[in-house]
Chains A and B, each alone.
Chain A
Amino acid sequence: MSGFANEVSSSPLSFWSYFMDHRSADLQLLWSHTWLSVVPVVLGLVIALPLGWLSNRFSWSYPPIMTVSGLLYTIPSIALFVLIPPLLHLDQLSELQVPIALTVYSVALLVRVVADGLGSVSEDTRQAATAIGFTPLARLLKVDLPIAVPVITAGLRVAVVSNVSIVAIAGTIGFQNLGNLFTTGYQLSSGTSPYYPPIVLGLVLCVILALALDALVILAGRGLTPWRRAARG
């Protein structure tokens, strides 16, 4: 590996040729990075929906739920990665510890967003829906949640992008994702001559991935809210 490194330029801008030389390995890293960024957000949303509903429905539960979720988010990611296996009786290097940690972060972010999104439904609309004869569940699914979509979408964008960066941290402790490129770059550097290409490649791919996922969330949000564009137009 190090002999190979000597043959190519160590300039930051030669990340492209580094990528072409290690294409299949790098794409593998990108792919697992993508999954690790997306799946926990989806799981996080599924868990945050009932919690957010609860804290919106029963106002006494809002402050404690928000405090706990805020505290969860302040736990440093490395600490959480390390804490999860003993807490959940998993292997020290279980495949699950990173997705679980990321799901915790996603829940922490999304609970507030779901609660505030449901809270954004106007009192008039709420009242009309009830008076018209929606059952509570039907009202939640057909009125409250659809109207909450713009607020929830805004939260999903933050969650998915922050996950892309937290996943990279998991890469530095040995999990397979774009974070490995940083470790590789660090290992290939020697004292006075840093080796930039894999580090820059990791950065570029992370940014591209974050932008792409963000765009997907925006598109999905737009698809679900044709009424917002009509209102502006």
Chain B
Amino acid sequence: MIRFDNVTKRYPDGTVAVDSLDLTAETGKITVFVGPSGCGKTTSLRMINRMIEPTQGSIWLDDRDTSTIATHELRRRIGYVIQHAGLFPHRTIVDNVATVPLLLGTDRKKARSDAMDLLERVGLDRGFAKRYPAQLSGGQQQRVGVARALAADPPVMLMDEPFSAVDPVVREQLQDEFLRLQDDLGKTIVFVTHDIDEAIKLGDRIAVLRVGGHLAQLATPADLLARPADAFVAGFVGRDRGYRALGFSEGHELPHHEEPTVRMGETAPAASEAAEWLLAVDGEAHPQGWINVEQTAGREVTEELLYRGGTLATQGGSLRAALDACLSSPSGRGVVVDENHRLLGSAQLDEVVQLIKSEPGPAGADGDTGTGTGTQGTSGATAAVLQKGPA
């Protein structure tokens, strides 16, 4: 547990970076500090390992006041990951990872073999061990940065915009792997980002800070979306709050109906014999895409004929995924699959909307205001935008 007790950071020129911050980051959870630049989120993070000393107040690590621990001792017990990884360019990857254990006096051989295991754990091949940081891509360097922070198995990790400098695809991979790793490790993590979507994806709890270092709201992602404390938080959390909040509503039994299918490689039926859109599946009932029967009648169903724009809703998954499956499907019917991605059937948009309406709280309320007029029209228009025909 990390506890900020009335912490203020005031610079000699009078600027207040953090103002009377009271906050607890719970053990084993990810607490995200988010806010616009100048909100003091990085300053707050750096006060935890005393890279910056508070002007006033104290920060507690479990039951110890951090100001009573020698800085280098404190820091060796806290993993630290920064935006550009900050690897040591003159050391091999394995020695970068082994840095803290070596500082703590672990014998070199053991430190290195542990470091090798960690490399695998963060998704890097052991073959990288003898290379130098400059030989790795940004994403790979960031993985090494995470491995280095984990090497001494610290109970606490501080992460300062660790995924901001990599491209969106790699960022998403790193985020997913980070969550998977955290499931195993259960570290107490404080994570700084300016990206509210990243905060919502990663955080167990989110602290929204406003310029001048005031805590505006501390809440779970679902609460933050549903009940922003004030206009600033609402504005910062941004658009689509109702829709995004559906992402936290999981475990529903989605209604679904049998959906006629055609197998890949088979001949598409004549237009008169089927609905306008027909779902194509592979030999194991995994949905592949939709075919437009009028255009494909009598032809063999091949990859080129498929409309792949539709998303899939997993049974028991979020209402957001279910709604999106309906909206993105050219037929207007959302494809529902089981955990193994096998087809269960399809759901109608209004059925999903009914399910959303039955939800208690603001998510349901938001759903209510958003529907009721022209569901068919919405579905059709979205389909037209999302789908691009083979022409």
Interface residues, chain A, with chain B CB atoms under 8 Å away: 122, 124-135, 138, 143, 146-147, 225, 227, 230-231
Contacts and interface: CB of A to CB of B under 8 A. Distances in A.
B90 A147 contact: yes
B75 A131 contact: yes
A147 B89 contact: yes
Q: Which of B85, B89, B99 has the most chain A CB within a 10 Å cutoff?
A: B89
Contacts of A147: 88-90
B86 A127 contact: yes
A130 B75 contact: yes
Nearest to A125: B86
Interface of B: 49, 51, 71-76, 78, 80, 82-92, 99-100, 103, 131-132, 134-135, 145, 148, 158
A125 B75 CA distance: 15
Given A125-B86, A131-B49, A230 B131 contact: yes
B234 to A, nearest CB: 34
Given A230-B131, A231-B135, A128 B103 contact: no
Contact of A227 (B80, B84, B86, B134): B134
Given A135-B72, A143-B88, A128 B135 contact: no
A147 to B, nearest CB: 5
Contact of A132 (B83, B90, B99): B99
Contact of A134 (B78, B103, B131): B103
A230 B134 contact: yes
Contacts of B100: 132-133
Question: Which 7 residue pairs across A and B have the least CB separation, nearest first?
Answer: A128-B86, A231-B134, A133-B76, A124-B86, A133-B75, A131-B80, A227-B132
Contact of B88 (A125, A131, A135, A230): A125
A187 B82 CA distance: 69
A128 B78 CA distance: 12
A134 B72 contact: yes
Nearest to A138: B103
B76 A230 contact: no
B146 to A, nearest CB: 12
Given A127-B51, A225-B90, A227-B90, A133 B84 contact: no
B103 to A, nearest CB: 6
Given A124-B83, A130-B51, A227 B76 contact: no
A132 B92 CA distance: 17
Q: Which of A129, A133, A225 has the most chain B CB within a 10 Å cutoff?
A: A133
A135 B71 CA distance: 9
A132 B132 contact: no
Nearest to A128: B86
A138 B105 CA distance: 14
A128 B80 contact: yes
Contacts of B89: 122, 125, 147, 227, 231
Given A129-B88, A133-B100, 14 more contacts: A125-B86, A125-B89, A128-B80, A128-B82, A128-B85, A131-B80, A131-B82, A132-B75, A132-B80, A133-B76, A147-B89, A227-B92, A230-B131, A231-B132
8 contacts: A124-B86, A129-B86, A133-B74, A133-B75, A133-B100, A133-B103, A138-B103, A230-B131
A124 B88 contact: no
Nearest to B46: A131
A55 to B, nearest CB: 22
A120 to B, nearest CB: 10
A133 B85 CA distance: 16
A124 B91 contact: no
A1 B134 CA distance: 62
A168 to B, nearest CB: 37
Contacts of B131: 230
Contacts of B82: 124, 127-128, 131
A84 to B, nearest CB: 39
A126 B84 CA distance: 12
Q: Which of B71, B72, B76, B145 has the most chain A CB within a 10 Å cutoff?
A: B72
A128 B51 CA distance: 10
A230 B136 CA distance: 11
A125 B133 CA distance: 11
B73 to A, nearest CB: 7
A222 to B, nearest CB: 13
B15 to A, nearest CB: 20
A225 B103 CA distance: 22
Q: Which of B82, B88, B131, B148 has the most chain A CB within a 10 Å cutoff?
A: B88
A130 B52 CA distance: 11
A132 B76 contact: yes
